[in-house]
Chain A
């Protein structure tokens, strides 16, 4: 039993992938240096190609489900031109609205700048940068939640419960936000943020403890905690936390608990984004520069070795899941305190699951997670516009995400598709059986 359990665990860690190095690979010494300092080109290439491939397949899905395109292809042999035009039109309208929804139009931005410098009127400029700020707004919870899942990966824990932790965190923040009245903002805001983090951390701690104490697999338990969170929020929003009126929503939070916005409405960009970047830096420091982080990584790489070195598996599992849940809770807090100012049903809307894709895409490194979160935030805010303009359901993003996870987890597919030679890479191993 012990023997067989040890096998998968030893496989994890940062052992180089099996197989001889490709011809022309750098000498071992250079490689060691490279490992410490600069990430190789492939570190960026594979995720980028993974996203690109995901977008291409997503495009195919859009085409296949477009009635106009399908109708045009019925007459492909009579009018191939029409069919190709329909394809172009469908893709251009979908991804065109996605792009303009993500970044806005460069022409408008330049004109806005000109107006601002010529007349001093910021309105056109604000109008023009609105889509970009919305992308950053959508990225903010992604950074937090992605960091949460990534921290879990560092300890060999797969937190699929970010969705529930996000929701619970949002409810915690909202509760502090509307319940405390007449407190100055410099006390109220930190407390509200903390409320979200603590709620998420508690929600994460339960599966962490169960994993450490009983061996119940965190994947099943976090999923169960998600469903419990949804039911609990149903109850809270219809009962104790319900605002006056008939809609099942919480009351508006006090102005003193809001994350300050930097521009006039409709721009919702707020300091939450900078908070997210700061937390990412903090997590980097915690994971890579402190004893706590070292222990987390050691337990993740090889629990048995960590145990023999005197580290407590239980403590690290619980701590990691609390951190992970707390970060997901912060994601919920940033959304409530920065954007919505109240919580309603279906508030989480897939952020927790997107976070998994983000953590995997960012290779569980805080910097990578920030980049991946920016990418997905951009995609999401663009997709919202795509939904309203081109009528393509926003769920296309989930399809693309599923594909991206597959491609990031199986880089061999991407290498085969794009004819890239194999390089050095870490393999992610989370499957540790149900008991260990």
Chain B
């Protein structure tokens, strides 16, 4: 890089930082204008810190905040950070954007729930639940793409698994049978994807889209041919019960969020940890990453590239199968057509946002889960925004996140490139 171009890049960077700063400053003012200024003084917002009902956690008092001063404080924070960014620039722009985004959302919640009670813990706990399928989709993406196979079929895999899970669970009368069948379904469809991608070197996006279309058609076909007429015997399984972990679930705030969930949520958390350990601390993980970064080098060292890719994609399918099970036997106990509603694709965005890292993918899934549950809570609070627009929130957040993060998040080098042995 020449000196001139380096200088130009630096100048562009500085301008970029200034623009960011200005935008953040404006957001701060917007918080003030939109939420703070128009309020009648003296209102209070109550944040409930105990989950709804049936919880064993120790009760703690609600958090009561005076609405207007609290919003002014948040607006001031956002303005301060924006101004500082404009004038001096922070080292970590992402963190600043995060802080201001938090200010905005917090102020919005304070405003939306003014004069009412808003169950904060309830919402955070439903964020985790709603993040579960997204996180599982993201983990499926991580494990496939770390081995160099782009898996865009996650949506279809989950949809198919959703259906097989509920049908087999209803017929057998055992939810665990449903879970196992969902996993097997996921593995089967993923195996088809792997077969097309590895053996036939089909473009992985095309193959993924084909599987998605096939899954949509097949599930709708089965649904209208069998399930609609025989709901009771085929499509009514019940759901996994909530298992409260003794002791841990009694911790205030954290207990009800993390330790009073159903098996699929626990399984997701377990998988995040397990995949992280597997990917970064075991020979298998090293091989997987080698195959995804530089398959030729891996091959030279005696790693079977094709086998690694098959194994990883199929394992990913198993994880997506669990994610599929969440939709039916993990939450409502029946199958509806296209009930995955784009969660597989949102999972891919979470994977990218999490930099192809299981733990990162988990936290970014939480962000999407938060957007999803926020949308539900806001409808309950009767915010004067049409519910259809609130329902768009997760999709818009996905696009914004994707726009902001891609380019800075670097995918595995051989991601999506079929490997051809010489």
Which of chain A's residues have a CB closer than 8 A to the CB of B203?
Answer: 409, 427-431
**Closest chain A residue, CB of each to CB of B156:** A402
Q: Is the CB of B210 within 8 A of A409?
A: yes
Q: Is the CB of A434 within 8 A of B406?
A: yes
**Closest chain B residue, CB of each to CB of A392:** B225
Chain B residues 380-422 with CB under 8 Å of chain A are 386, 388-389, 391-392, 395-396, 398-399, 402-404, 406-407, 409-411, 413-417, 420
Q: Is the CB of B211 within 8 A of A402?
A: yes
Which of chain A's residues have a CB closer than 8 A to the CB of B214?
Answer: 398-399, 401-403, 406
- Using a CB–CB distance below 8 Å, which chain B residues touch chain A? 150, 152, 196, 200, 202-207, 209-218, 220-222, 224-226, 341-342, 345-346, 348-349, 352, 386, 388-389, 391-392, 395-396, 398-399, 402-404, 406-407, 409-411, 413-417, 420
A219-B205, A224-B345 known; A65 and B210 CB under 8 Å? no
Which of chain B's residues have a CB closer than 8 A to the CB of A412?
Answer: 200
- Seed contacts A213-B403, A219-B209; 13 additional CB < 8 Å A-B pairs: A11-B417, A223-B342, A227-B395, A228-B395, A395-B216, A402-B213, A427-B203, A430-B206, A431-B416, A433-B416, A435-B406, A435-B407, A435-B411
CA distance A153 to B65 in the complex (A): 55
Cβ of A360 within 8 Å of any chain B Cβ, yes or no, is: yes
Measured CB to CB, the closest approach of chain A to B331, in angstroms, equals 19
Q: List 21 A-B contacts (CB under 8 A).
A: A61-B221, A65-B221, A65-B225, A158-B206, A210-B403, A213-B403, A214-B404, A216-B403, A216-B406, A221-B399, A221-B402, A224-B395, A228-B395, A353-B213, A393-B221, A395-B216, A395-B217, A405-B210, A428-B203, A431-B205, A431-B417
Which of chain A's residues have a CB closer than 8 A to the CB of B221?
Answer: 61, 65, 393, 395-396, 398-399
Interface centre among A1, A210, A224, A434 (most CB of B within 10 A): A434
Which of chain B's residues have a CB closer than 8 A to the CB of A227?
Answer: 341-342, 392, 395
Cβ of A357 within 8 Å of any chain B Cβ, yes or no, is: yes
Q: Is the CB of A435 within 8 A of B410?
A: yes
The contact string, 1 if C-beta is below 8 Å from chain B, for chain A 396-436, is 11111111011001101100000000000001111111110
CA distance A210 to B404 in the complex (A): 10
Cβ of A37 within 8 Å of any chain B Cβ, yes or no, is: no
Measured CB to CB, the closest approach of chain A to B337, in angstroms, equals 9
How many chain A residues touch B (CB < 8 A): the figure is 61
CA distance A187 to B348 in the complex (A): 46
Which of chain A's residues have a CB closer than 8 A to the CB of B349?
Answer: 220
Cβ of A21 within 8 Å of any chain B Cβ, yes or no, is: no
Q: Is the CB of A223 within 8 A of B389?
A: no
Q: Is the CB of B402 within 8 A of A217?
A: yes
Nearest 10 interchain pairs by C-beta: A398-B217, A402-B214, A431-B416, A235-B388, A405-B210, A395-B220, A395-B221, A216-B402, A214-B403, A399-B217
CA distance A132 to B135 in the complex (A): 48
Measured CB to CB, the closest approach of chain B to A203, in angstroms, equals 13
CA distance A392 to B217 in the complex (A): 12
Q: Is the CB of B225 within 8 A of A434?
A: no
CA distance A235 to B389 in the complex (A): 8
Q: Is the CB of B213 within 8 A of A234?
A: no
Which one of B210, B388, B399, B404 contacts A406 once the chains associate, using CB atoms below 8 Å?
B210
Interface centre among B200, B213, B396 (most CB of A within 10 A): B213
CA distance A97 to B415 in the complex (A): 46
CA distance A410 to B210 in the complex (A): 11
Measured CB to CB, the closest approach of chain A to B212, in angstroms, equals 8
Cβ of A16 within 8 Å of any chain B Cβ, yes or no, is: no
Q: Is the CB of B406 within 8 A of A214?
A: yes
Q: Is the CB of B210 within 8 A of A210?
A: no
Cβ of A343 within 8 Å of any chain B Cβ, yes or no, is: no
Q: Is the CB of A224 within 8 A of B399?
A: yes
Q: Is the CB of B210 within 8 A of A4?
A: no
Which of chain A's residues have a CB closer than 8 A to the CB of B403?
Answer: 210, 213-214, 216
Cβ of A7 within 8 Å of any chain B Cβ, yes or no, is: yes
Q: Is the CB of B417 within 8 A of A8?
A: yes
Chain A residues 86-109 with CB under 8 Å of chain B are none
CA distance A226 to B396 in the complex (A): 11
Cβ of A330 within 8 Å of any chain B Cβ, yes or no, is: no
Cβ of A84 within 8 Å of any chain B Cβ, yes or no, is: no
CA distance A225 to B345 in the complex (A): 12
Measured CB to CB, the closest approach of chain A to B193, in angstroms, equals 10
A223-B342, A431-B416 known; A232 and B220 CB under 8 Å? no
Which of chain A's residues have a CB closer than 8 A to the CB of B150?
Answer: 431, 433
A224-B398, A398-B213, A434-B352 known; A219 and B392 CB under 8 Å? no
**Closest chain A residue, CB of each to CB of B228:** A393
Q: Is the CB of B416 within 8 A of A409?
A: no
Q: Is the CB of A210 within 8 A of B196?
A: no
Q: Is the CB of B196 within 8 A of A235?
A: no
Cβ of A160 within 8 Å of any chain B Cβ, yes or no, is: yes
Which of chain A's residues have a CB closer than 8 A to the CB of B209?
Answer: 158, 160, 219, 356, 405
Chain A residues 29-82 with CB under 8 Å of chain B are 61, 65
Which of chain A's residues have a CB closer than 8 A to the CB of B389?
Answer: 231, 235
Measured CB to CB, the closest approach of chain B to A410, in angstroms, equals 4
Measured CB to CB, the closest approach of chain A to B231, in angstroms, equals 16
Interface centre among B206, B207, B212, B349 (most CB of A within 10 A): B206
Which of chain A's residues have a CB closer than 8 A to the CB of B224?
Answer: 393, 395
CA distance A228 to B399 in the complex (A): 11
Measured CB to CB, the closest approach of chain B to A417, in angstroms, equals 13
**Closest chain A residue, CB of each to CB of B398:** A224
Cβ of A239 within 8 Å of any chain B Cβ, yes or no, is: yes
**Closest chain A residue, CB of each to CB of B389:** A235
Cβ of A215 within 8 Å of any chain B Cβ, yes or no, is: yes
Which of chain A's residues have a CB closer than 8 A to the CB of B207?
Answer: 406, 409-410
Q: Is the CB of B402 within 8 A of A220?
A: yes
Which one of A8, A231, A400, A430 contacts B391 once the chains associate, using CB atoms below 8 Å?
A231
Measured CB to CB, the closest approach of chain B to A162, in angstroms, equals 12
Q: Is the CB of B213 within 8 A of A356?
A: yes
A224-B342, A393-B221, A434-B415 known; A402 and B210 CB under 8 Å? yes
Chain A residues 125-162 with CB under 8 Å of chain B are 158, 160
Which of chain B's residues have a CB closer than 8 A to the CB of A434?
Answer: 352, 406, 409, 411, 415
Q: Is the CB of B225 within 8 A of A353?
A: no
Measured CB to CB, the closest approach of chain A to B239, in angstroms, equals 25
